[in-house]
Structure 1
Amino acid sequence: MARVSYVRADELESEYEDLVVSSLQPGKAVNVYSAVATNPPVLKGLRQFLGSLWSHSGLSDRQRELVILTAAHEIGVGYEWHQHVNIARNADITDAEIAALARDDREPFAEDEKAIIAYARAVVRGRVTDSLHDAVVEYVGEEATVGAATVAAGYLGLGRVIDALDVDLEDGDDFVGWDPR
């Protein structure tokens, strides 16, 4: 059970109502946003921040989801992992690849993706080396490398909020599992 109340859209001032609803699942309020809505201005800033990571990281959808799933698994936040498995599937990441991420098995991935995954893990662990950074820059350029670092760190932060507030999966959802096959 969450450590804070989930705030419904109809309990918020009009400028915040839409912020508890998933942008990917129109009409569906998600618990992480409903929990953070206990502080509406923080929710607004969080959604703006995450939206900028989503839209302007310089990564492809597939690369972005590899980074997010890597961060979620690295810190063991099932809620975040669960939310992004279907998004990853829509970004052409197979269930076998998702399961490989959970095992830290990079074999199924292309060399650029292996570097991005290693980089995301290093960002989450606080252990980025010059050679790892340079390898990612070589594959995706500086702008997207900054995007990868920021996405990994941003979802690390979101995962810590989810953990601190003990956010539950939405009613009716069963955890997809670390291996969704």
Structure 2
Amino acid sequence: MHVYEPRLHPVAEKDIPEKALEALRPYRNGEGDIYAIWGTLAAHPDALRRFLVFGNHVLAKNTLPTRWRELVILRVAWLAQAEYEWLQHVAIARRVGVTDDEIRSLGRPGPAGFAAAERALLTAADQLVTGAGLDDDAWKPLREHLTTEQLIDLVYTVGQYQTVAMAINVFRIQPEPDIAVLREELALPAPATS
């Protein structure tokens, strides 16, 4: 994978306004450093604080089971070819029990090896990312497996992580060293070719 020079660099912690720093308190790695994505978006501290409110719902208050949420996020990351997002969520997905074979499958067209509800979620993620909508064939199995709140959270999850993927790709945000090592094990698969 080609590593590009970042277009925007993370803001130094000493230069982040106090309100934004407070909002970023839970968004630090094991070393206590602010994650590069959030440090980069801290260049617009007011927008960052507001964005984190919604992001906190999607990541921490979501009605989708954590496993389902992570499958969807990884699928969005693959579709968008957002390496930073992919690597961060490979680590999270592993912690919630998603296997490496399942993760690899998410980086292929028509991922295999998932239960009916998960296949429905992944089909929906594909359609939401590529067409900003769902056809009736995608909607019906979702309605069978998800509550109304979960359906809404599915759309929010795809939208949130598609937005994050755009920021990653546009600003060329690079993964932290502790996450970059995952390139050797579970690198972002290349996009599907037609």
**Residues 1:134 and 2:101 are matched in the alignment:** no
Of 122, 132, 145, the residue aligned with 1:117 is 122
Give the superposition deviation at 1:142.
1.8
CA deviation digits over 1:52-104, x for unaligned, max 9?
Answer: 11233310000000110010001111110011001001111000100011123
CA contact (8 A) 2:87 2:179 kept: no
| Larger mean Cα displacement after TM superposition, 171-180 or 1-10 | 171-180
**Counterpart for residue 66 of structure 2:** 61
Where do 4+ consecutive residues of structure 1 move more than 6 Å?
none
TM-score (norm: length of structure 1): 0.90
Give the superposition deviation at 1:38.
0.5
CA contact (8 A) 1:98 1:179 kept: no
* Structure 2 unmatched ranges of 5 or more: 188-194
User: What is the RMSD computed on CA atoms of the aligned residues?
Assistant: 2.1
CA contact (8 A) 1:59 1:147 kept: yes
| Larger mean Cα displacement after TM superposition, 4-13 or 57-66 | 4-13
1:1-181 pair list within 5 angstroms: 1-20=5-24, 23=27, 25=29, 27-126=32-131, 127-171=133-177, 173-174=179-180, 176-177=182-183, 180=186
CA deviation digits over 1:3-48, x for unaligned, max 9?
Answer: 1231122222221114445547352311110110001011111211
* Structure 1 unmatched ranges of 5 or more: none
Give the superposition deviation at 1:138.
0.9
Residue 55 and residue 177 in structure 1: after superposition, are their counterparts in 2 closer, same or farther (change >3 A)?
A: same
SS in 2 for 1:16: helix
Letter in 1 for 2:71: L
Q: Distance in 1 between matches of 2:141 and 2:112?
A: 17
SS in 2 for 1:59: coil
Q: Distance in 2 between matches of 1:166 and 1:43?
A: 17
Alignment length (residue pairs): 181
CA deviation digits over 1:81-135, x for unaligned, max 9?
Answer: 0110010011110001000111234321111101111111111111511221221
**Counterpart for residue 191 of structure 2:** none
TM-score (norm: length of structure 2): 0.85
Q: Distance in 1 between matches of 2:70 and 2:184?
A: 15
Q: Distance in 1 between matches of 2:118 and 2:62?
A: 15
**Counterpart for residue 190 of structure 2:** none
Give the superposition deviation at 1:175.
5.2
Q: Distance in 2 between matches of 1:166 and 1:8?
A: 17
